[in-house]
């Protein structure tokens, strides 16, 4: 029998004949639209929408969802427009298909990306018609089941997205079965080795456990029967991914996790649930503090059940869930169970969408009634994105922040100005440190002061991107204004030395200099000076340059006169002297240091115009420059006197002398002499060479 007929037969158990026919029609339409397309596995493409429809049929979804499932890839993959689908199958089905296509285009690369905008889109799609999500989930489930056909990289990406986005959504909608399958398939694709190891370990453990499981099951059944109550007792096993998460997250050993025995007792009525609870509590001693009544207070996703933990024989912990059949269905299929229930009771399914919305609304109201809207938001969104906290403003507004957020994060989330001027905070009406991580449910009040500024230390504890960006920005502004101030003072001081006050420098000249440095405004230049990135002296020379005929062209290298004093330093590593090719290294806070062009210490930054500038020696350079010589010579008496005499004869000065004996015959002398320039140095060296026994003289440079 063709696969569509098998499905049609299954459908006729809960859908009207004409609805089944409409689904058939959608199938044939899809078959034609996808004609010639194949899945990666080689099968005809239509097998995929058919499989998606089958998944929804398992959940007894309505005929429109099933039609949408058949057609869900038509708009995306075949280019048939939405209007065409609307004409054929009605507006609602076309809308569903369109919604699914839009979700498909959404890429949830990372959790962070998904969080803000995409979640909103998702929520909007859900609000418009929750069935869009259900079709999408079924689509993803079939893709996960057939993931093996995908190339490795792609399957990993899909698996990651499934674990981070789709499994939590299934969980949020209470669709436990689907979530478990998503997680185990995703786990297997992401970590095939780990998944297999846990699977094997579970298989081994099952052997040892069977006997105990049967014993407990029997005693629970006996106990029910003795009290005249009916119920199914089932042993439960944790799924692989949840074992893995427990091992990782709670750092538990595999055996610790497997040592817990879990059972579910499913009964007919709510009343029976509580009676069964009493019975099992008398059978085994309950573990204090572990009883939870999710029947009276259901979870936000609609989950209802009683949970309790007992000490079994030999102190074995036994976890027990007690619930009705309806609750069981709800727990397994979540929101989809609503269709199942209504249709099995023979009600028309046309209203199912309205009921689904009702259900979402009901969940909302339920939580609000409970007076704890926070818990609602928490379960809805923390379930989906567990890394967030929700706190209240003093007026009761809710702020959503990344987990670990502090009052400063909160302040910036309220408003940038509040963040920038924040000085203290009250958490739940008590003063608290700004750095303290906020807890969900706290009410946070920020104390501000006019003129207050962000503290650089905040950067150590804020977690939200917004706070971080704004603090950095504010600090930068602050640093800028301080730097401009300092830069201006430095420049004024130097200009005073040139006897050219800043005010007397024409605007055109200033603009010229700004252009040279590719700067927009004069403040930028002042800031750079204040920060030590540029030297006030250099800038001042540039500014007054055009008025002095004898100064070299501004574009050329800056000429060093040797009279700059403290603002200029000569590098100790390479000891440049006039005549040497030189560059200036502007080091922040240190001013300018003159190096030899060939100095190894600046080889990496030499061509970086922000750090180095070309220099030349002025013609009338003045002063004495130290240079180090290394002289190898035969050991002889009165050596120092000989060296000193030679240097002196060449008009040089010895600044420092050091000597070590290489062997009995040769000595090596380090001589620091001061000279005027290279020509002078050459004269000194020539003189030194005349000393008898000198074998080699080298100038020491880095
Ligand atoms: Mn698909």
Q: String of b and e for 641-653 (b: at least 16 CB within 10 Å)? A: ebbeebbeebebe
Provide the token pair at 556.
Answer: 């050329």
DSSP string for 570-634:
E-TTT---TTS-EEEEEETTTEEEEEETT-GGGTTTTT-TTTEEEEEE-TT--S-EEEEEEEEEE
The helix or strand, by DSSP H or E, that contains position 426, with its residue range, turns out to be: strand 422-427
Alpha carbon of 72 to ligand 1 centroid (Å) = 6
Confidence class of residue 543 from pLDDT cuts 50, 70 and 90? confident
Give the residue with greater pLDDT, 114 vs 198: 198
Q: Which long-range contacts (CB under 8 A, 24 or more apart) does 471-477 make?
A: 471/408, 471/412, 471/419, 474/420
Angle of helix 507-516 versus helix 536-545 axis, rounded to 10: 120
Q: Are 47 and 3 in contact (CB under 8 A)?
A: yes
Spacing, Cα 69 to ligand 1 middle (Å):
8
pLDDT, mean over the chain: 80
- Report whether pLDDT(347) > 50: no
Per-residue pLDDT at 128: 62
Residue 211, Cβ density class (10 Å: 0-12 exposed, 13-18 middle, ≥19 buried): exposed
Smallest CA-to-CA distance from 141 within 121, 159, 118 is with 159
Question: Are 334 and 173 a contacting pair, CB within 8 Å?
Answer: yes
Look at residue 384 in the predicted model and tell me its pLDDT.
45
Residue 587 pairs in a beta bridge with 591
> According to the model, what pLDDT value does residue 114 have?
45
Is 80 exceeded by the pLDDT of residue 701?
no
Domains of the chain: 2-145 (1.10.3210.10), 204-348 (3.30.460.10), 354-472 (3.10.20.30), 480-617 (no CATH), 625-699 (3.30.70.260)
What is the token pair recorded at 536?
A: 């006030």
- pTM here is 0.51
Residue range 26-41: mean pLDDT, rounded: 91
**73 C-alpha to center of ligand 1: Å?**
5
Per-residue pLDDT at 322 exceeds 90:
yes
| Ligand 1 centroid from CA 501, angstroms | 75
- H/E element, 193: helix 192-226
Q: In angstroms, rounded to a whole number, what is the distance separating the alpha carbons of residues 277 and 190?
A: 40
Calculate mean pLDDT across residues 198-204.
88
Greatest extent of the chain over all pairs of C-alpha atoms, in Å: 124
Q: With cut-offs at 50, 70 and 90, classify the pLDDT of residue 552.
A: very low
Q: How far is the CA of 107 from the centre of ligand 1 (A)?
A: 14
Say if residues 8 and 28 touch (Cβ distance below 8 Å): no
Measured in whole angstroms, the distance separating CA 213 from the mean position of its chain's CA atoms is 44
Alpha-carbon gap, residue 363 to 245, rounded angstroms: 28
Say whether pLDDT at 120 is over 80: no
Both tokens of 136, joined, read 């999408």
Looking from the CA of 30 toward its CB, the CA atoms found within 13 Å total 32
Find the length of the chain. 702
Summarised one tens digit per residue, pLDDT across range 134-169 is 899 999 999 999 998 888 888 998 898 888 778 877
Do residues 176 and 334 touch, judged by C-beta distance below 8 A? yes
Residue 72 to residues 16, 35, 58, 87, 132, Cα–Cα distance (Å) = 22, 15, 18, 16, 10
CA-based R_g, the chain, Å: 41
What is 361-394 written as a DSSP string? HHHHHHHHHTT-HHHHHIIIIIHHS-SEEEEE-T
* Contact predicate 279/312, CB 8 Å: no
- 38 Cα: distance to centroid of ligand 1 (angstroms): 12
Task: Give residue 126's pLDDT.
Answer: 56
Instruction: Report which of 389, 392, 371 is spatially closest to residue 443, judged by C-alpha positions.
Output: 392
632 is catalytic: no
* Strand pairing report for 317-324 and 261-267: parallel
Measured CA to CA, the distance from residue 17 to residue 424 in angstroms comes to: 69
Of the candidates 103, 76, 71, the residue with the CA atom closest to the CA atom of residue 88: 71
328 is a catalytic site residue:
no
Q: Taking Cα atoms as reference points, which of 389, 401, 376, 386 lies closest to residue 440?
A: 389
The pLDDT tens digits for 470-529 are 888 888 777 777 778 777 877 887 787 777 888 888 888 888 888 888 888 888 888 888
Residue 258 has pLDDT above 80, yes or no: no
List 31, 58, 77, 319, catalytic entry:
77
DSSP, collapsed to helix, strand or coil, labels residue 636 as: coil
Q: H or E stretch including 524? A: helix 522-531
Max mean pLDDT range (18-22, 120-124, 379-383, 621-625) = 18-22
Q: At 656, which helix (H) or strand (E)?
A: strand 653-661
What's the pLDDT at 249? 73
Tokens coding 419: 């963040």
Give the pairing of strands 612-617 and 558-560. Answer: parallel
Distances (CA, A) of 484 to 92, 184, 491, 533: 64, 60, 10, 12
Report how far residue 52's alpha carbon sits from residue 49's, in angstroms, rounded to the nearest whole number: 5
pLDDT(287) > 90: no
Residue percentage of the chain with pLDDT more than 70: 82
Per the model's pLDDT, the better-predicted residue between 351 and 329 turns out to be 329
Per-residue pLDDT tens over the stretch 47-88: 999 999 999 998 888 899 999 999 999 988 888 898 999 999
What's residue 602's pLDDT? 85
Residue 7 in this model has a pLDDT that exceeds 90: yes
Q: In the structure encoding, which two tokens stand for residue 637, read together?
A: 């008496």
Burial of 556 (0-12, 13-18, 19+ CB in 10 A): exposed
Distance of CA 71 from the midpoint of ligand 1 (Å): 9
CA 299 / ligand 1 centre spacing (Å): 31
Question: What are phi and psi for residue 592, nearest 5 degrees?
Answer: -105, 135
Angle of helix 325-333 relative to helix 337-344, nearest 10 degrees, comes to: 140
The pLDDT of residue 377: 38
414 within 8 A of 446, measured Cβ to Cβ: yes
- Mind spelling out the 3-state secondary structure of 127-143? HHCCHHHHHHHHHHHHH
Q: Please state, in angstroms and rounded to a whole number, the distance separating the CA atoms of residues 490 and 506.
A: 19
Ligand 1 centroid distance, CA of 74 (Å): 9
* Confidence bin at 550 (pLDDT 50/70/90): very low
Asked if residues 445 and 419 have their Cβ atoms less than 8 Å apart, the reply is: no
Q: Which of 76, 293, 523, 524 is catalytic?
A: 76
Which residues are 673's β-sheet partners?
627, 654
| Residues β-bridged to residue 570 | 594
- Measure the CA–CA gap between 702 and 700, rounded to whole angstroms: 7
Between the CA of 138 and the centroid of ligand 1 the distance, in Å, is: 9
pLDDT tens-digit series, residues 388-416: 677 778 876 667 787 889 999 999 988 98
pLDDT in tens, 606-658: 777 667 777 888 887 878 888 999 998 887 777 778 888 888 888 888 888 88
What single DSSP character describes residue 437?
B
- Report pLDDT digits (tens) over 366-382: 334 433 333 433 344 43
């Amino acid at each position: 029998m063709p696969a569509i007929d098998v499905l049609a037969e299954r459908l006729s158990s809960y859908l009207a004949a004409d609805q089944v026919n409409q689904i058939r029609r959608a199938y044939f339409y899809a078959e034609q639209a996808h004609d010639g397309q194949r899945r990666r596995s080689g099968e005809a493409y239509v097998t995929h929408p058919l499989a998606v429809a089958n998944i929804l049929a398992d959940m007894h979804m309505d005929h429109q969802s099933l039609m949408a499932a058949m057609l869900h890839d038509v708009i995306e993959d075949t280019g048939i427009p939405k209007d065409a689908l609307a004409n054929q199958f009605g507006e609602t089905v076309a809308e569903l298909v369109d919604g699914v296509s839009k979700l498909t285009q959404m890429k949830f690369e990372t959790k962070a990306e998904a969080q803000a905008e995409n979640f909103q889109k998702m929520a909007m799609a859900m609000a418009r018609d929750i069935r869009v999500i259900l079709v999408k989930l079924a689509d993803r489930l079939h893709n996960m089941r057939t993931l093996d056909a995908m190339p490795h990289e792609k399957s990993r990406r899909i698996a990651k997205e499934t674990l981070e986005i789709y499994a939590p959504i299934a969980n949020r909608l209470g669709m436990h079965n689907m979530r478990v399958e998503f997680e185990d398939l995703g786990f297997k694709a992401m970590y095939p080795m780990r998944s297999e190891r846990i699977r094997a370990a579970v298989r081994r453990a099952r052997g040892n456990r069977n006997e105990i499981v049967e014993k407990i099951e029997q005693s629970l059944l006996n106990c029910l029967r003795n009290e005249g109550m009916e119920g199914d007792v089932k042993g439960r096993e944790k799924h692989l991914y949840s074992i893995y998460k427990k091992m990782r997250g709670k750092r538990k050993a595999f055996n610790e996790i497997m040592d817990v025995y879990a059972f579910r007792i499913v009964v007919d009525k709510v009343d029976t649930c509580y009676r069964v609870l009493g019975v099992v509590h008398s059978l085994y001693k309950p573990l204090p503090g572990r009883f939870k009544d999710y029947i009276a207070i259901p979870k936000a996703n609609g989950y209802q059940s009683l949970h309790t933990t007992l000490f079994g024989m030999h102190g074995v912990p036994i976890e027990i869930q007690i619930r009705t059949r309806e609750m069981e269905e709800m727990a397994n299929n979540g929101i989809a169970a609503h269709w199942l229930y209504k249709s099995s009771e023979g009600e028309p399914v046309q209203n199912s969408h309205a009921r689904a919305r009702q259900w979402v609304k009901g969940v909302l109201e339920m939580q609000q009634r409970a007076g704890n809207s926070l818990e609602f938001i928490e379960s809805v969104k923390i379930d989906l994105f567990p890394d967030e906290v929700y706190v209240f403003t003093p007026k009761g507004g809710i702020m959503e922040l990344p987990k670990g957020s502090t009052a400063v994060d909160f302040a910036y989330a309220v408003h940038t100005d509040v963040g920038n001027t924040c000085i203290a905070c009250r958490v739940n009406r008590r003063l608290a440190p700004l750095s303290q991580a906020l807890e969900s449910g706290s009410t946070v009040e920020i104390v501000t002061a006019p003129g207050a500024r962000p503290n650089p230390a905040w950067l150590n504890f804020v977690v939200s991107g917004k706070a971080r960006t704004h603090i950095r920005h504010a600090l930068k502004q602050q640093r800028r204004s301080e730097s401009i101030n300092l830069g201006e003072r430095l420049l004024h001081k130097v200009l005073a030395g040139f006897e050219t006050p800043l005010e007397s420098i024409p605007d055109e000249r200033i603009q010229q200099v700004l252009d040279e440095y590719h700067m927009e405004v004069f403040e930028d230049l002042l800031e750079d000076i204040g920060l030590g990135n540029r030297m006030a002296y250099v800038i001042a020379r540039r500014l007054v340059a055009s008025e002095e005929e004898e100064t070299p062209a501004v574009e050329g290298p800056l000429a060093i006169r040797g009279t700059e004093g403290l603002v200029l330093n000569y590098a100790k590593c390479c000891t440049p002297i006039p005549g040497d090719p030189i560059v200036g290294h502007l080091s922040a806070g240190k001013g300018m240091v003159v190096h030899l062009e060939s100095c190894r210490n600046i080889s990496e930054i030499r061509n970086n115009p922000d750090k180095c500038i070309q220099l030349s020696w002025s013609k009338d350079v003045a002063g004495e420059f130290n240079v180090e010589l290394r002289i190898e010579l035969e050991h002889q008496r009165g050596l120092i006197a000989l060296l000193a005499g030679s240097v002196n004869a060449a008009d040089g000065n010895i600044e420092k002398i050091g000597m070590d004996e290489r062997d009995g015959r040769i000595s090596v002398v380090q001589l620091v002499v001061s000279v005027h320039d290279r020509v002078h140095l050459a004269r000194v060296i020539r003189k030194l060479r005349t000393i008898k026994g000198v074998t080699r003289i080298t100038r020491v440079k880095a």
